[in-house]
Amino acid sequence: MFYRRKFYIVKNEFVEVFNAHFNNTNLPNQLKHGARFVGRWMKEIDDRTTEIFAIWEYDSYGDYKEIEANVRSDEAHVKRVQDWYKQHGGKQHVFSEYISEVRNEEIKSTVK
C-alpha cells in the first residue's frame, strides 16, 4: 500500500471556502478516478491559521501516479478548479493571501 498526506496551512477566514471546494470539487473527482479517501482533518494553529490535511490510500505508488494523471487530465474537473480560483481572485492571489504552505508527501505506517 501507498499512503499520502496532502497538507495545507490556511488562513482562518478562508477555511470554510477551502473546505467547501474540497468537498464539492476535489473529493468527488479523486474518488471518480479511484483514489481511496481515508479522511480529512483540521486543527487550528493560532488565531490566524489552521492546518488542514487529508490521508489517501492507494494499492501502490504506481497506482497513485496513474490516478493523479487521470485527475489532472479530467478537463471538466480542471475547468471547475480554474473557475474556483477565478472566483477567489486567481490562483496566485489565493496562494499569496490565503494558503501559506502546501505539502504532498508519502507517509509510512509504523505498525507491522
| Cα pseudo-dihedral 104, 32, 1, 99, rounded to 10 | 10
Handedness of CA 85, 6, 51, 99 (dihedral sign): negative
Summarize pLDDT for 60-109 with one digit per residue, the tens.
Answer: 999 999 999 999 999 999 999 999 999 999 999 999 999 999 999 999 99
Is there a domain that residue 62 lies in? yes
User: Structure pTM?
Assistant: 0.90
Cβ pair 12, 47 in contact under 8 A: yes
Is there a domain that residue 33 lies in? yes
Is there a domain that residue 63 lies in? yes
Is there a domain that residue 22 lies in? yes
**CATH number of domain containing 97:** 3.30.70.100
Is there a domain that residue 93 lies in? yes
Is there a domain that residue 112 lies in? no
Residue 100's domain comprises 2-107
